[in-house]
Amino acid sequence: QERIIKAVEFGRAVVHYGWIPFIIYIGYTRSNPQPSLIKYVAETSTPQITLTSAQVD
């Protein structure tokens, strides 16, 4: 009985923390064309800085 409860709790934790990574994995492996993970991480992790020229009077 106690083993079943612990197994169910463990299963719930696995599903809870693994759901979003699983969905992302499915998206990456099933899409056509398959995106590059390194390219995606590089684009999302770099801050976007916009440089504007200031007018000095």
Residue carrying structure tokens 């991480």: 41
What does the mean pLDDT of the chain come to? 77
Range of the domain at 28: 2-45
Is 20 contained in some domain? Answer: yes
Is 56 contained in some domain? Answer: no
Segment 6-12 mean pLDDT: 95
The pair of structure tokens assigned to 7 is 């197994």
Residue 18 in this model has a pLDDT that exceeds 80: yes
Number of domains comprising the chain = 1
Residue 17 in this model has a pLDDT that exceeds 80: yes
For residue range 20-40, list pLDDT tens digits in order.
888 888 887 787 776 676 666
Q: Could you give the CA distance from residue 14 to residue 8 in angstroms, rounded to a whole number?
A: 10
The pair of structure tokens assigned to 35 is 């995106």
Calculate what percentage of the chain has a pLDDT beyond 70: 60
CA atoms within 13 A on the CB side of 14: 6
Is 50 contained in some domain? Answer: no
pLDDT in the model for residue 2: 93
